[in-house]
Structure 1
Amino acid sequence: MEDPGNTKFLSKLRRQGIDVPQPSPIMGNIPEIKLNKSLVQCSENSCNNWKDPPSLDCSSILFPYFKQWTKQYEHHVNDALTFVTGKTFSFRLGTVPVLYVTDPELVREINLCRSLDLGKPAYLQKDRGPLLGKGLITTNRAVWTHQRKTIAPNLYVDKDMLPVVIESAKALVKSWECMVESEGGVADIRVDEYLPTKNNREQWRLEKEIYSMIIHASKECNRGTTAEAMIQILMQGAKHGELGPSTPEQFVIDNCKDLYLAAFEVSGISAIWGLMLLASHPEWQERARAEQFWNDALDSHKLGKMKVLEMVVQEVLRLYPGVAFVSREALQDVKLGKLVVPKGVNIWIWLLELQQDPKLGGADADKFNPGRFANGVSEACKNSQAYIPFGVGARICPGQSLAILEMRVMFAVILANFSLSLSPNYRHIPNFSLLLEPKYGVNLLVRKI
């Protein structure tokens, strides 16, 4: 039998003009998802054409069922709710009801909502507990508020951060130079091996080892580095404020995990996709180099003048945002404009679809064209809500400025030293687990300039 609670959710949404694919009693829409994906997802062999620019439509490859449901329900909209388009519907993952959103006006309402009743989904702690713990990414209400106040002020970019980021990029360049020289001028490099990967996440599952390592670091640190200073800040935050069920030690550990994932791995994966895109479009490599002055050391003033580089970073984040969707859960009934989202319903803002919608981004929305950002973000899309790579609302990523800085420096230092092209060994197979990442890595042919 259908679970009464879920029937209630679905009925409330249907009455407000939100269509729902018919779910099975226990599995929800999971059987349909599996069947649909197996029928229309392209095989890995058919995605292995490296000679042409790779297809950037990850949504059709990874989530074909969303495309099917969008077409199925795009004309079934309650006229009384004109702000909800046919791209808003609900489905169920097992017993979890999910509201799928790519309507920019509904995204705007979510963006404007500051209620703590719109929080992060419970499944993040339940299913991803060993990985994410109870840190800034997963907690809600008073506990999250305290964590945000503790961490966010220390993630804003200042003059002390730039040299650290530059030195990290130079270390990568040095290792590549050795490889290029040893290979006679051109090296086939799997670039993701030099940036954070999912192996780091898998190691975190060894909780006892990670627990001991971070606690040891917190006791030994003396604020000599940025990392040590952040651990000290977390230790102070653990002493003062709402911790919920966490111990002070767990507060430090969980937020160290979340900071690494958000500050390093997410931006690292976006940088990997960015290098793939630059390798596919040598004309943008040349344009980025043309505006740079390499006779002197890179500094914040020069970095700020590199407008083409800024456009490239913004376009990379549009096509390959660090996360595929922004998730929320109604912890109580939440009103978003005219729509009331019942308690317990999850909301997924699907960035891959929203940011590549031709109705919002133009006919070339699925193409790599940094020039769309020539006049800033506001002119790149027909609706400002169609570009939200760092999330929305009160829970927008506090480290977005640092992430952008890391990508800009990485691209600037690499392009100053190397030219890039796709390797014959590159297989364009996007994969989604926790993040959107290349399943088999990214192989590039790297030449010293």
Structure 2
Amino acid sequence: MEVVIEFVKLVSVVGVVGILSWLVYGYSSVWVKSERVRRKLRMQGIRGPSPSFLYGNLPHMHKLQSQAKLTNTTISTTNNHLFLAHDYTSTLFPYFEHWRKQYGQLYTYSTGMKQHLYVNEAELVREMNQCITLNLGKPSYVTNKLAPLLGNGILRANGLSWAHQRKLVAAEFYMDKVKGMVGLMIESAQPLLTKWEQLIEAHEGGSSDNGTEVKVDADLRGFSADVISRVCFGHSYSKGKEVFSKLRSIQKAMSTQGGFQLFGVSGIRGMLHYLWSTKKQNQISSLEKEVESIIWELVEERRRKQSEYSSAAAEKDLMQLLLEAAESDQSSDHEGKEFSKRSFIVDNCKNIYFAGHETTAVAASWCLMLLALHPQWQTSIRNEVAQLCPNGIPDADSLPHLKTVTMVIQETLRLYPPAAFVSREAYEDVQIGNIKVPKGVCLWTLIPTLHRDPEIWGADANEFKPERFSEGVSKACKFPQAYVPFGLGTRLCLGKNFAMVQLKVVLALIISNFSFSLSPSYTHSPAYRMIVEPGHGVYILIRKI
């Protein structure tokens, strides 16, 4: 019996020593390293909230997020004029706003394993976005979490891999090539226009003459998805709809894992979070495999028809370019890189499928919401399209002259940019303006806050005033570099031209055919689900012109 007791004591001592060793290791490898980085930032006058041991500021972030959820109330259509003044960043990202009020536009905070810089000074944002070094890229811990959605494609890539993929994909979205896509975009919009006309016809004779209610989000996603399928992959939405549907499911599943998937959860809290979300992870993994299988089927189908695309370079779409690049990579110095030929093709298809349609569709939804609130801008656009577009249908020649449409899109992207952040990680020590950023620090710019800063945009920063862009972005605000709906500099969104032309086409066609107002069913509740989108969808009441 005494032997057993002594053995238990020995095990207990070993356990205690093990725990102490783990704490010492955690202190030396995490806390000391993080404190060293914080000291370097403090020496440059950069302040921030005091971190707790191992978890940094995560507990405080969780607390602020919980408080924001309790106090948040959605805004109904009876409060239309409060929509734009509603500071949705304080609800979606309350910790950023809380600390910004304490420490200003530049501060540092910690998520345990990582030290961060919040950078919303216009000049530093410009310096960060125009920095050409490959030592400043997407935060690795964020891109790791997005792997099921984006694979190793261009949106996750860094360094030489990113440079190589950007060079390849950029060719598909040059303005000269985008102009040639306008006809396909108009074709893709026809099912949406026809559906809405049929809804109006079916509604005629009803008790209300206020219009026919339509929830626009799914229809706009269908339009945008059809466009990206046709112009980039040579097939219609009917073939690619499974891909879009499953990518959307992955996006939703990842968004429900908790608001801190962007900022990391470490230590014991991270282990518990991982165990809690295992079922969700299994669901995501299953969807990921299904998406890859469907895309590869489309690739194999293209290969069988490859001879049809080899006769003229002008006929090549993005999938053909990816196929040729992958074949080339197998016999060049790219062999043995982090992605195989198959994953290179599949992952970049996933990136274009997701980024090419999701953000554009959400931007179009926000546009219709704002135009529904401001019918005078519908009238201005309708008159402009009637004057400049033959038969009221835009083409590649008339689109650049649709100034009113452009201003409305630019103002919408200012107030409701789908991308919430510009984020970077320093892979080596980097100089950004007058700030020396230590290796391993992640930088975050909150785009909605930058776009609504009265110091940059004036006292009317929260108002919908497209006329502020009447002379272009350079005259719209005090610091043009503070307008970053598509990013800025070397990481400028490759699909900027594509998205702008697509938005012009669909808005011109909708407004030429319909007038609309906001439905009482609409509830204003912006939500962050990898991008900032209408939390409950956009409902409008439409009437045929």
The TM-score with structure 1 as length reference comes to: 0.92
Secondary structure, counterpart of 1:322 in structure 2:
coil
- Does 1:410 pair with 2:506? yes
Give how far 1:203 is off: 4.0
Secondary structure, counterpart of 2:524 in structure 1:
coil
After TM superposition, list the pairs within 5 Å mapping 1:214-253 onto structure 2.
214-221=295-302, 222=305, 229-241=317-329, 242=334, 244-253=337-346
Distance 1:228 1:264 in 2: 20
Distance 1:178 1:51 in 2: 31
Distance 1:227 1:211 in 2: 25
Task: Indicate conservation of the 8 Å contact 1:333/1:341, yes or no.
Answer: yes
- Give the aligned length: 437
Counterpart residue identity of residue 188, structure 1: E
Secondary structure, counterpart of 1:220 in structure 2:
helix
Q: For structure 1, list consecutive stretches of 5 or more residues without a partner in the other structure.
A: 75-86
- Does 1:358 pair with 2:454? yes
Q: Which has the higher helix share?
A: 2
Distance 1:279 1:43 in 2: 28
Counterpart residue identity of residue 196, structure 1: R
Give how far 1:20 is off: 1.8
Alignment deviations for residues 372-392 of structure 1 (CA, whole Å, 9 cap, x no partner)? 001111000101111111112
Distance 2:91 2:403 in 1: 32
Distance 1:426 1:216 in 2: 40
Q: Residues 262 and 202 of structure 1: is their aligned pair in 2 closer, same or farther, counting only changes over 3 Å?
A: closer
Give how far 1:426 is off: 0.7
Q: Residues 150 and 22 of structure 1: is their aligned pair in 2 closer, same or farther, counting only changes over 3 Å?
A: same
Q: Residues 414 and 161 of structure 1: is their aligned pair in 2 closer, same or farther, counting only changes over 3 Å?
A: same
Of stretches 61-70 and 312-321 in structure 1, the one that deviates more from structure 2 is 61-70
- Does 1:135 pair with 2:153? yes
Q: Residues 191 and 200 of structure 1: is their aligned pair in 2 closer, same or farther, counting only changes over 3 Å?
A: farther
Match of 2:117?
99
Distance 1:228 1:436 in 2: 33
Match of 1:170?
190
Distance 2:245 2:118 in 1: 30
Task: Indicate conservation of the 8 Å contact 2:74/2:525, yes or no.
Answer: no
Task: Indicate conservation of the 8 Å contact 2:37/2:115, yes or no.
Answer: yes
Which is greater in Rg?
A: 2
Give how far 1:23 is off: 1.6
Distance 1:64 1:272 in 2: 25
Distance 1:283 1:96 in 2: 48
Secondary structure, counterpart of 1:368 in structure 2:
coil
Q: Residues 428 and 228 of structure 1: is their aligned pair in 2 closer, same or farther, counting only changes over 3 Å?
A: farther
Counterpart residue identity of residue 18, structure 1: I
Match of 1:207?
288
Q: Residues 143 and 167 of structure 1: is their aligned pair in 2 closer, same or farther, counting only changes over 3 Å?
A: same
Secondary structure, counterpart of 2:171 in structure 1:
helix
- Does 1:311 pair with 2:407? yes
Task: Indicate conservation of the 8 Å contact 1:113/1:393, yes or no.
Answer: yes
Runs of 4+ displaced beyond 6 Å: 223-228
Give how far 1:332 is off: 0.9
Distance 2:52 2:181 in 1: 52
Match of 1:193?
218
Give how far 1:199 is off: 5.0
Give how far 1:444 is off: 1.0
- Does 1:59 pair with 2:89? yes
Match of 1:344 among 415, 435, 440: 440
Task: Indicate conservation of the 8 Å contact 1:50/1:426, yes or no.
Answer: no
Give how far 1:173 is off: 1.0
Match of 2:519?
423
Match of 2:356?
263
Distance 1:260 1:50 in 2: 37
Task: Indicate conservation of the 8 Å contact 2:381/2:405, yes or no.
Answer: yes
Q: For structure 2, list consecutive stretches of 5 or more residues without a partner in the other structure.
A: 1-26, 223-243, 251-283
Aligned CA RMSD, in angstroms, stands at: 2.1
The TM-score with structure 2 as length reference comes to: 0.76
Q: Residues 100 and 179 of structure 1: is their aligned pair in 2 closer, same or farther, counting only changes over 3 Å?
A: same
Alignment deviations for residues 61-85 of structure 1 (CA, whole Å, 9 cap, x no partner)? 32222222111113xxxxxxxxxxx
Secondary structure, counterpart of 1:300 in structure 2:
coil
Match of 1:375?
471
Match of 1:72 among 71, 79, 102: 102
Secondary structure, counterpart of 1:301 in structure 2:
coil
Alignment deviations for residues 328-349 of structure 1 (CA, whole Å, 9 cap, x no partner)? 1111111112211111111111
Secondary structure, counterpart of 1:39 in structure 2:
helix
Alignment deviations for residues 295-331 of structure 1 (CA, whole Å, 9 cap, x no partner)? 5232122222211101001111111112001111111
Secondary structure, counterpart of 1:107 in structure 2:
helix
Task: Indicate conservation of the 8 Å contact 2:200/2:212, yes or no.
Answer: yes
Distance 1:227 1:285 in 2: 37
Give how far 1:227 is off: 11
Task: Indicate conservation of the 8 Å contact 2:385/2:394, yes or no.
Answer: no
